[in-house]
């Protein structure tokens, strides 16, 4: 039969369990808004006969499925927001053609100047205006090409920094994997360490997207991008960058492996967005700008060389002929011979002297 001491023990243990529960509840409330914190619930078990209850363990409230979805959503959000932010300067230059500094407007002003020339082909002012508009068009194309190249280099720098940040978070996760295993083996709580690990995974997801697989020992295997194993238990596989001599930009690699260039395999988070803009959007815009410069220069050159200047001499090229499409925008230049002598503008379609008033090539 239980005696008075047993009854007091049961009551004491019950009070201790309630006090511990209140302390844990207070900690949960205090840390409610702390990033990475997970609620802890006390587990109460029966003690030996006539000994009441005792707190056995603390259970960390964690929903792996929900957290995986949250990390995925975080990666998608960072990708979308970062890409939208990086496209603003590109669209403000090449993409926005609504104001007078846009390429469409600049080219229209060139044609307008030629139209004015056709109404007064012998007037020096009209000729200088044509050359001025040609020069402004070429300068605008040059500036846009330089802006695209400059933005690509800025993104390249951000990608290099992101690799450093990713490696840092991967190292944190690897170290915490080991620390959690050791703590649990010693019978110590590891909830705080688990919170820190999940917080590092969240940061990694924002940087490059992250997928977590929980091993039988509770340690994490973390993948980024398309199947790139970054953390495997306590082993950390570091990313690196290497200069691509063809582009002048850096490729993302994993040194010591045969994975090759990882640029196209990292498609989430802010780094995935920066890679997409640098290697996709900006490259496409630069290619289109080069094609525009190449086609415009060749078309105007062909038309101009089909005419004759004020001296009745065959027209020269308006622009220095671009050798290739690639680099045509950065290298677009008005023929210096024309800039020094407006009389060389070929507004006539009739050869020989005495054709100064012929404006048919300017009209064309």
Check pLDDT > 70 for residue 268.
Answer: yes
Average pLDDT of span 243-271: 94
Angle between helical axes of 124-185 and 191-208 (0-180°, round to 10): 160
User: HSE of 133 in the Cβ direction (CA atoms, 13 Å)?
Assistant: 21
Q: DSSP class of residue 234?
A: T
The alpha-helical segments, DSSP class H, found in the chain are: 4-30, 64-90, 103-119, 124-185, 191-208, 269-276, 282-305, 336-340, 360-363
Phi and psi at 275, nearest 5°, equal -65, -40
Among 49-53, 104-108, 134-138, where is mean pLDDT lowest?
49-53
pLDDT range class, residue 223, cuts 50, 70, 90: very high
Q: Is the pLDDT of residue 54 over 80?
A: no
Q: Which residues, listed in sequence order, are joined to residue 240 by a DSSP beta bridge?
A: 253
Position 60 pLDDT exceeds 90: no
Q: What is the pLDDT of residues 73-106, one digit of tens each?
A: 999 999 999 999 999 887 766 655 555 667 888 8
* For the chain, percent of residues with pLDDT exceeding 90: 52
pLDDT of residue 188: 83
What does the pLDDT average to over 4-16? 58
Range of lowest pLDDT (27-31, 110-114, 198-202): 27-31
Q: Is 50 helix (H, G, I), strand (E, B) or coil?
A: coil
Q: In this structure, are residues 148 and 282 in contact, taking their beta carbons and an 8 Å threshold?
A: yes
Place of tokens 């850096």: 250
pTM of model > 0.75: yes
Q: Among all chains, which residue has been given the structure tokens 């844990």?
A: 24
Q: For the segment 296-308, what is each residue's pLDDT rounded down to a tens digit?
A: 999 999 999 988 8
pLDDT in tens, 98-131: 556 678 888 889 989 988 888 887 888 888 999 9
Q: What is the CA radius of gyration of the chain?
A: 35
CB 332 within 8 A of CB 347: no
Q: How far apart are CA 49 and CA 45, in angstroms?
A: 12
């Amino acid at each position: 039969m239980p005696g008075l001491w047993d009854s007091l023990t049961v009551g004491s243990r019950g009070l201790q369990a309630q006090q511990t529960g209140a302390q844990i509840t207070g900690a949960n409330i205090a840390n409610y808004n702390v990033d990475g914190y997970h609620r802890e619930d006390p587990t109460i078990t029966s003690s030996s006969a006539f000994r009441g209850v005792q707190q056995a363990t603390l259970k960390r409230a964690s929903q792996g499925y929900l957290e995986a979805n949250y990390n995925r959503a975080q990666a998608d959000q960072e990708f979308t927001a970062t890409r939208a932010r990086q496209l603003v300067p590109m669209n403000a230059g090449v993409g926005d053609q609504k104001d007078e500094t846009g390429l469409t407007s600049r080219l229209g002003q060139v044609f307008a100047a030629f139209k004015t020339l056709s109404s007064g082909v012998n007037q020096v002012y009209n000729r200088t205006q044509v050359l001025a508009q040609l020069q402004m068009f070429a300068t605008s194309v040059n500036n846009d090409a330089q802006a695209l190249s400059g933005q690509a280099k800025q993104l390249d720098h951000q990608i290099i920094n992101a690799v450093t940040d990713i490696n840092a978070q991967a190292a944190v996760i690897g170290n915490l994997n080991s620390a959690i295993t050791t703590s649990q083996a010693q019978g110590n709580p590891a909830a705080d360490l688990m919170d820190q690990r999940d917080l590092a995974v969240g940061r990694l997801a924002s940087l490059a997207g992250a997928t977590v697989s929980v091993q039988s020992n509770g340690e994490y295997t973390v993948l980024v991008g398309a199947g790139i194993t970054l953390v495997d238990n306590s082993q950390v596989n570091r990313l690196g960058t290497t200069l691509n001599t063809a582009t002048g930009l850096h490729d993302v690699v994993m040194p010591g492996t045969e994975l090759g260039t990882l640029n196209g395999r990292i498609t989430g988070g802010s780094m995935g967005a920066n890679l997409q803009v640098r290697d996709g959007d900006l490259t496409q815009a630069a290619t289109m700008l080069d094609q525009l410069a190449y086609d415009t220069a060749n078309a105007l050159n062909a038309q101009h060389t089909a005419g004759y200047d004020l001296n009745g001499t065959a027209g020269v090229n308006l622009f220095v002929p671009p050798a290739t499409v690639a680099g045509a925008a950065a290298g677009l230049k008005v023929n210096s011979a024309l800039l020094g002598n407006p009389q060389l503008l070929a507004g006539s379609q009739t050869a020989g002297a005495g054709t100064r008033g012929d404006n048919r090539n300017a009209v064309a």
